Amino acid sequence: MQTINTIKNLAAVLKHWKQAGLSIAFVPTMGNLHAGHLKLVAEAKAKADKVVVSIFVNPTQFGIGEDFDSYPRTEAQDAKQLAAQEVDILFLPSVAEMYHSNAKTTVSVAGISALHCGLSRPGHFDGVSTVVCKLFNMVQPDMAFFGEKDFQQLAVIRTMVRDLNIPVKIHAVATIRESDGLAMSSRNGYLTPEQRKIAPQLYQALCAAKEAVLAENQAFAQIERQQRQNLESAGFAVDYFSICRAEDLLPAKQNDNELVILAAAKLGKPRLIDNIQFKIKAL
């Protein structure tokens, strides 16, 4: 595995791959890798000749008071894991390499970026879409892999790729969970032992809401309200718990078919997000 820190050196290697007709898969990460990230890498390796993984803690997607400075950075350990997975390139740029000191351009995906996480984290998805667009320009992959845990992020990136005609195929990979159902996340490390015991209730609430929707005997607003109350009683500070259309993440109606329930809640220091996708009935 090559570790590359500059766009120039990355481009030189990619040029040879392209000339040889090799397909390139890309997995963008912020590091502190866990089994969920490694699943993305495994999927990428199964579908392409070469795999590039980036590690870059992107400052533009962190808001005021968020955890950019304290976000876990474990590059040496991450590199060992990626080498063991036989990744071809680890792209490990600095902030100065990624952002010109006088940068003036932001990529913003209107509408969908303002919902859910976008309401409580203004500017977050502009930071995400901008850095992913830049990375796509640098790596020029044929395909890129993202986890479904960050469902809204996935939707934002898919929309950006469509609207800007970026020639990359987006692959979604199912959420990897701990044995008790907690979605794997770099921020789980912030949980105290007692909070870690409580944290799986977020996924349990999503599962309970799904069953209530499928039972078709309660209004969606009532289901959302009940699960918010359950989570708050358990010690969560709920940001949102929303039954949405999977297509555009707008509020679902009783006759919608493909749904996703999105949830975000703070438990102590970390803000946990999760979701569950399902169909109500066959069309």
Report, as residue numbers or ranges, the catalytic residues.
Answer: 37
Question: In this structure, which amino acid lies at residue 23?
Answer: S
CA atoms within 13 Å, Cβ hemisphere of 74: 14
The residue with tokens 């898969």 is 25
The residue with tokens 């950019």 is 68
Rounded CA separation 63/17 (Å): 37
| C-alpha separations of 121 from 60, 91, 243 in Å | 12, 27, 20
Question: In this structure, which amino acid lies at residue 159?
Answer: T
Helix (H, G, I), strand (E, B), or coil: what is residue 283? coil
